[in-house]
Amino acid sequence: MRADLGSLAASLKAAPLKDLATARAGQASLSAAGWTADLSRQYLDAESDAALLAHGAKAGLEDAAASLFNGDIVNPSENRPALHWALRAQAPLSGEAEKVRQSVLPALEFARRVQEGDIRTVGGASYKAVLHIGIGGSDFGPRLIADAFADLAAPGIELRFCANVDPWDLEHALTGLDPASTLVVGVSKSFGTEETLYNLGRARKWMEASLGAEASRQIALVTANPDRAKAWLGGNDGYLFDMPLPVGGRFSLWSAASLACMIYLKAGTFEAILKGAAEMDAHTRSAPLAENLPMRLALLDFWNASFLERSMRVVLAYSHRLRMLPTYLQQLEMESNGKSVGPGGVPSPYSTAPALWGGEGSVGQHSYHQWLHQGSRSVPSEFILAPDFDRDPEGITALTAHALAQAEVLANGRSLEEVRAEEPDLSDAVAKQKVHAGGRASSFLHHKAFGPEAFGSLVALYEHRTYFAGKLWGLNPFDQWGVERGKTMATRLKPALSGDGMADDPVTASLIKDLS
The residues that are catalytic are: 335, 366, 487
CB 223 within 8 A of CB 107: no
What are the CA-CA distances from residue 473 to residues 26, 307, 340, 466 (Å)?
Answer: 30, 12, 8, 11
CB within 8 Å of 44: residues ≥ 6 apart? 12, 20, 24, 28, 52, 300, 303
CA distance 416 to 208: 69
Give the residue among 359, 355, 458, 448 at the shortest CA–CA distance from 145.
458
Q: What angle (nearest 5°) sits at the alpha carbon of residue 147, between those of residues 395 and 354? A: 90
**Cβ neighbourhood burial of 275 (10 Å; 0-12, 13-18, 19+):** middle
CB 374 within 8 A of CB 437: yes
CA distance 223 to 220: 10
Task: Report which residue type is found at 347.
Answer: P
Give the residue among 295, 243, 273 at the shortest CA–CA distance from 68.
295
How long is the chain? 516
Helix, strand, coil content of the chain in percent (nearest 5):
55, 15, 35
What dihedral angle (degrees, nearest 10) is formed by the CA atoms of 490, 495, 501, 503?
Answer: 20
CA distance 311 to 340: 14
Give the residue among 351, 258, 353, 269 at the shortest CA–CA distance from 312.
353
CA distance 436 to 454: 35
CA distance 173 to 179: 12
CB 324 within 8 A of CB 144: yes
CA distance 193 to 181: 26
What residue spans of 14-150 are helical by DSSP H? 17-24, 46-58, 61-70, 95-103, 105-116, 140-148
CA distance 325 to 360: 9
CB 17 within 8 A of CB 437: no
Task: Report which residue type is found at 388.
Answer: D
